[in-house]
Chains A and B, each alone.
Chain A
Amino acid sequence: AQSVTQPDIHITVSEGASLELRCNYSYGATPYLFWYVQSPGQGLQLLLKYFSGDTLVQGIKGFEAEFKRSQSSFNLRKPSVHWSDAAEYFCAVGLAGSSNTGKLIFGQGTTLQVKP
């Protein structure tokens, strides 16, 4: 069965420090992979996505993610965290089916806290 695991429920980093959020997936085919960010009480904003090609993907707000097929991972990174990055981060796998709808399987999320 398809699944997404975000091993870290809560991460605290100091402002200006680097960040890595982990994501592991289980999926039989080549996955469509996504990272979304959600501020409190808001909707989900797409940070970046991977479908194929270059395994290092650049996103918005200075984020990047690297797809590693051998490790079934799609970790999110940022070299220098800003206080405004404090939010909930969701990794998701898109299920590519024969229909035109793509179901998303979400991880449980990682809460990022940023210390001044």
Chain B
Amino acid sequence: DTEVTQTPKHLVMGMTNKKSLKCEQHMGHRAMYWYKQKAKKPPELMFVYSYEKLSINESVPSRFSPECPNSSLLNLHLHALQPEDSALYLCASGGRRTDTQYFGPGTRLTVL
């Protein structure tokens, strides 16, 4: 099973709201990723967790706050976002040896 699930599928929020995106995988992968993707562009890496510890933060603004409660779950907490943060947010998980990443279906975020 190579499934990564993400909720919600769509999210509309105002600039003063606080919301969270959730990601789950049951493949036993120890690395999990958050990406941001704008239309007609490749995904841009935001954060990487390895063994539940934050290992990479690609200089993402602090209004995005990741959390990895356990090896199967990854959250992205959102606060005081800007309209330019509207995008598709993708979660991925990866195995240790192969570095193959498996992506979830994404959350389409709209910031008003």
A and B held together in a complex = yes
Instruction: Give A residues with C-beta under 8 Å from B.
Output: 32, 34, 36, 41-46, 49, 51, 88, 90, 94, 96, 99-104, 106-109, 111
Q: Which of B38-64 contact A (CB under 8 A)?
A: 40-43, 45, 48, 50-51, 55-56
Q: Which of B13-21, B78-86, B95-103 is the contact stretch? A: B95-103
Given A41-B88, A99-B55, A109-B40, decide whether A104 and B101 contact each other with a Cβ distance below 8 A.
Answer: yes
Kindly list chain A residues whose C-beta atoms are within 8 Å of the C-beta of B56.
101, 103
CA distance in complex: A51, B103 (Å): 19
Q: Which residue of B lies closest to A49 (CB)?
A: B100
Chain B, interface residues (CB within 8 Å), range: 20 to 34
Q: Taking chain A's interface residues, is the majority helix, strand, or loop, or is none over half, making it mixed?
A: strand
Given A42-B105, A49-B100, decide whether A102 and B94 contact each other with a Cβ distance below 8 A.
Answer: yes
CA distance in complex: A51, B99 (Å): 10
Number of A-B residue pairs at CB separation under 8 A: 72
- Sort A-B residue pairs by CB-CB distance and give the 10 closest, nearest first: A102-B99, A106-B42, A43-B103, A44-B103, A43-B105, A94-B99, A101-B48, A101-B50, A100-B96, A101-B31
The verdict on B108 contacting chain A, using a C-beta distance below 8 Å, is: yes
Q: Which residue of B lies closest to A104 (CB)?
A: B101
The answer to whether B99 touches A32, judged by C-beta atoms less than 8 angstroms apart, is yes
The verdict on B90 contacting chain A, using a C-beta distance below 8 Å, is: yes
Kindly list chain B residues whose C-beta atoms are within 8 Å of the C-beta of A46.
2, 100-103
Kindly list chain A residues whose C-beta atoms are within 8 Å of the C-beta of B102.
46
Kindly list chain A residues whose C-beta atoms are within 8 Å of the C-beta of B51.
100
Contact of B106 (CB < 8 Å), options: A43, A51, A107, A109: A43
CA distance in complex: A51, B4 (Å): 23
